[in-house]
Amino acid sequence: MSAEIKSRRHSVRTIAERKGKDPIVVLTAYTAPMARLLDPHVDCLMVGDSLGMVVYGMDSTLGVTLEMMIAHGKAVAGASQSALVVVDMPFGSYQESPQQAFHSAARILAETGAQAVKLEGGAIMAPTIAFLVERGVPVMGHVGLMPQSVNGLGGFRAQGRTQAEETRILADAVAVADAGAFSLVVEGTFEAVARQVTERVAIPTIGIGASPACDGQVLVTEDMLGLSGGTLPKFVKRFADLNVAVEAAVKSYATDVRARTFPGPEQCYGWGKTS
Ligand code: KIV
């Protein structure tokens, strides 16, 4: 068959080609309705394992399973048309061996319809990234603050405070890029570190708490919409306060139900008819 397959979606190639050009816009999405709303406005939808904390109320991302990522990835890929969909590989699904990583990544791509996977880790994960890329799995890397290593890092704190940390982040970024990743999330680090990483690697960097020096930005959608509870990290800007709107709507629903003014005639079948 020689029919040319034209996709309206961003591809890993079109995203990689944006290095040093106009900023790449990325947001997380975990559900079909949110994917539908975000898709026309972003270049990439990231089905992050942050869903463990945002959707399931976990304390960290460590309890997220491959099955959860596949279910949410399928919802997002199915509801979007133009954004590149990248699904996070959850903790424990890729660290054991390149073979384990391939098995998990193959399930994610085959069962969700997403175009790429993301995994956390620098130099230590480079052989795994090369193994996946050589076998046709596009990989987005993730260095700096890596939430799956929260126990080893001693909490969700910005990385790159010391010269040693800075050198490690740079070496990690270069190793991930050399291994064939098509882009790289840089999380929770200082502007000077993000700038050096972005200058040193030939692939686009996507920052989260990593300054505008990066080639693109990502935020957790619920955080930027004001839908998350609790204290937000310093790097989050609230572009809306939807908690307030949701609360007001729910209060008014409860008032109407209690007053028997909802449902009204417009919401009823055969209002006023006697049978
Ligand atoms: O899990 C996640 O949502 C992420 C992005 C925010 C970078 O890793």
Which residues, in sequence order, are CB contacts of 229 under 8 Å at separation 6+?
Answer: 243
Residue 4 pLDDT: 56
pTM for the structure as a whole: 0.94
Domain identity same for 183 and 155: yes
Domain identity same for 151 and 266: no
Q: Which residue's C-alpha comes closest to atom 8 of ligand 1?
A: 48
CATH of the domain at 174: 3.20.20.60
Domain identity same for 235 and 273: no
Known catalytic residue: 187? yes
Domain identity same for 245 and 230: no
Q: Which residue's C-alpha comes closest to atom 4 of ligand 1?
A: 48
Q: Which of 187, 222, 247, 266 is catalytic?
A: 187
Torsion of CA 146, 147, 150, 155, to 10 degrees: 100
Q: Give the DSSP letter of residue 53.
A: H
Range of the domain at 263: 241-275
Domain identity same for 184 and 271: no
For 102-156, write each residue's pLDDT tens digit. 999 999 999 999 999 999 999 999 999 999 999 999 999 999 999 999 888 777 8
Number of domains in the chain: 2
Domain identity same for 255 and 205: no
Tokens of 53: 């904390």
For 182-238, write each residue's pLDDT tens digit. 999 999 999 999 999 999 999 999 999 999 999 999 999 999 999 997 888 999 999
Tokens of 200: 């040193």
Domain identity same for 32 and 166: yes
Cα radius of gyration rounded to whole Å, the chain: 21
Rounded to 5°, the CA angle 12-213-136 comes to 15
- CA 275 to CA 270: how far, in whole Å? 9
Domain identity same for 200 and 248: no
Domain identity same for 270 and 150: no
The CA 141 to ligand 1 mean position distance, Å, reads 11
Residue 83 pLDDT: 98
CA quadruple 8, 207, 173, 23: dihedral sign? positive
For 7-47, write each residue's pLDDT tens digit. 689 999 999 999 999 999 999 999 999 999 999 999 999 99
Domain identity same for 138 and 214: yes
For 236-261, write each residue's pLDDT tens digit. 999 999 999 999 999 999 999 999 99
Domain identity same for 36 and 167: yes
The CA 152 to ligand 1 mean position distance, Å, reads 18
Q: What is the mean pLDDT of the chain?
A: 95
φ, ψ at 186 (rounded to 5°): -120, 115
Residue 211 pLDDT: 96
Residues with CB under 6 A from ligand 1: 28, 46, 48-50, 88, 185, 187, 208, 218, 220
End-to-end alpha-carbon separation of the chain, Å?
A: 61
Work out the angle between the directed axes of helices 126-134 and 98-112 (0-180°, nearest 10).
Answer: 50
The CA 7 to ligand 1 mean position distance, Å, reads 25
